[in-house]
Structure 1
Amino acid sequence: MSEQEKGVAGGRSRSTRQDRIVEHVLARGSASSAELVELTGVSLMTVHRDVDELARRGLVRKYRGGVSAQPTSVFESHSDYRRSARLREKAAIARAALEHVEPGSSIMLDDSTSALAVAQLLDEVGPLTVVTNYLPTIDVLKTMPEVRLIALGGDYSRTHDSFNGIACTESIAAMAVDLAVVSTSSMTGSMTYHQEQEVVVVKRAMLDAAARSVLLMDSSKSPRRALHQLRPTDAFDAVVVDDRISPAVLSEMREHTAVTVAELDG
């Protein structure tokens, strides 16, 4: 094996090992360094280097003797974290939300991982025009022959793995789509929220550009509030949640809009 091939293989193994660490910590909330050594089969020094890199990326929080995945608002915003969390709920919600997507229509997907789960199903629908600012969604859709993909540019955020800012919102404002599919960080029965102003601006622009809107929310996001109000619940034509939603929140939501409850297998 050449030195270049060894370097590529080493990079892959390091990436795979760090993914395992993140998944393990997310599943358990925290882990000791000794536990991670046993998990990965590498030295304590290598584990420390991996943890240092993951902490710099905002995926874990380091403390003496171990790491933690206790969420903070910054942690929850990170694309890598969001792509690892609540996968069963998001898959069920996406399957239910697909009923709102009509062949031949134009849809806008925000930079949420719930909308990404919808994107992964769009090859089942037929010809579509899809507009998005989220790089993982772009990567999924670029392989679908019946999807006309429009990528929104702007200021790239490494935390969100998406484009935002003035250029992005101005591009959205120049469009008119049939449907916007969005999610956000938290909600009550009557209001939706997000902790970051620049993200709120883009989501609002997407909702304004769409004739109809669907909000996708897994049950971990309610009832919670964040710094900025996004839109009242009744501003959405439909909301899709999973069946672990609080009955009280579900009842209040249904006073304001149509709600679909996606059932989780098992």
Structure 2
Amino acid sequence: MLAHQRQELILDAVRAHGGVRVADLVDRLGVSEMTVRRDIGELSRQGLVARVHGGAAALGRSSEEPGFAAKSTLRTDAKRAIARAAARFAEPGASVALSAGTTTVALAAELRAVTDLTAVTNSPRVADVLHDAGRTVVLSGGVRTPSDALVGPVARASLRALHVDVLFLGVHGLDVRAGLTTPNLLEADTNRALMDCAARVVVVADASKHGVVGLASFADLDAVDVLVTDGALDPADRPALADHVGELVIAAPLEEPR
């Protein structure tokens, strides 16, 4: 298969799913990882895809909202590592809130081990994970977004009277100047409501979210008590983030299976 044919297939996959992993392309195209990375690099130079850690993603505009399925295939190991590191901030008997997102779904799986937990969420997927584990779950109402978040006036109204010990918040993007951002205006409003009901805010975001700026800012980084990310975050970027958030936690990588 010629290079331009491979690149067309990669571009088709990115357009169809919003993103694609290098490992999946290696299997699909029957070529080496180096060849796939070279093809992604060429597509990125042409301005056709965004080169991300572990694969390629569709070029994002500030108002574009990737779907849950597209995001769930990207940086899965990093999200699991972040979830494991963040779970220690939930104590037995605590009340917690979790926003929607692929990282918070991974975190919900970790929180199944926390006893006597009460969870508030605007994510049906998070609710399912914790409900199946026998935890008490309060699911907000609202309108469902492409990222599987329940948002809008109904969601905000259901959160207004609640008070939780800690919020685990996934974000579309975070930036020192723009703060926490999302491409969805209603989700921005709902995220603010989640933050308002929490005594402590823990943001869970893999390194690819750093420097991404969505359409709407909903909080400054100074409002974040803990930011949990992964080791792919550029060491040069860490001091500025650490200066703005209460605590910066770099999740340890998952151990390789023996």
Report the count of equivalent residues: 214
Q: What does 1:25-64 align with in structure 2 at a 5 Å threshold?
A: 26-28=20-22
Task: Name the residue aligned to 1:99.
Answer: 88
Contact between 1:188 and 1:249, CA under 8 Å: does it hold in 2? no
Distance, in Å, in 1 between the alignment partners of 2:24 and 2:108 is 31
**TM-score, length-scaled by structure 1:** 0.72
Q: Does 1:134 align with 2:123?
A: yes
Letter in 2 for 1:209: C
Corresponding residue number in structure 2 for 1:250: 238
Q: How far off its partner does 1:253 sit? A: 1.2
What residue is the counterpart of 2:42 in the other structure?
none
**Bigger Rg over Cα:** 1
Give the aligned CA root-mean-square deviation in angstroms. Answer: 2.9
* 1:227 partnered with 2:227: no
* Residue type at the aligned position of 2:122: N
Once the two structures are TM-superposed, the CA of residue 162 in structure 1 deviates from its matched residue by: 2.8
Aligned 8 A contact 1:180 1:212 in 2: yes
The CA deviation at 1:69 is: 5.0
Question: What stretches of structure 1 of length at least 5 have no aligned partner?
Answer: 1-18, 40-60, 62-67
Q: Residue 84 of structure 1: which of 65, 73, 76 is its match?
A: 73
| CA distance in structure 2 between the partners assigned to 1:86 and 1:129 by the alignment | 28
Structure 1 residues 188 and 69: alpha-carbon distance in aligned structure 2, compared to 1, 3 A threshold: closer
CA deviations 1:157-209 (Å, max 9, x no partner) are: 3x122321101111011111111100111112352222221111111100000
> CA-to-partner distance for each residue in 1:206-259, whole Å, 9 max, x for gaps?
000001110011000112222211211110111101011022321111112211
Check the 8 A contact 2:226/2:249 in 1, yes or no: yes
Report if aligned partners of 1:131, 1:149 keep a CA contact under 8 Å in 2: yes
Identity of matched residues, %: 26
Q: Is the 8 A contact 1:135 1:161 kept in 2?
A: yes
Which deviates the most, 237-246 or 79-88? 79-88
Q: 2:205 aligns with which of 209, 212, 217?
A: 217
How far the C-alpha of 1:101 sits from its partner, in A, is 0.4
User: In structure 1, what is the equivalent of residue 163 of structure 2?
Assistant: 176
Q: Distance in 1 between matches of 2:229 and 2:189?
A: 23
Give distance in 2, aligned partners of 1:201 and 1:236: 17
Following TM superposition, the consecutive aligned residue runs of length 4 or more in structure 1 with deviations greater than 6 angstroms are: none
Q: Supply the distance in 2 between the matched residues of 1:69 and 1:188 (Cα, whole angstroms).
A: 19
Tell me how far 1:139 sits from its aligned partner. Answer: 1.6
Does the 8 Å CA contact 2:121/2:127 hold for their aligned counterparts? yes
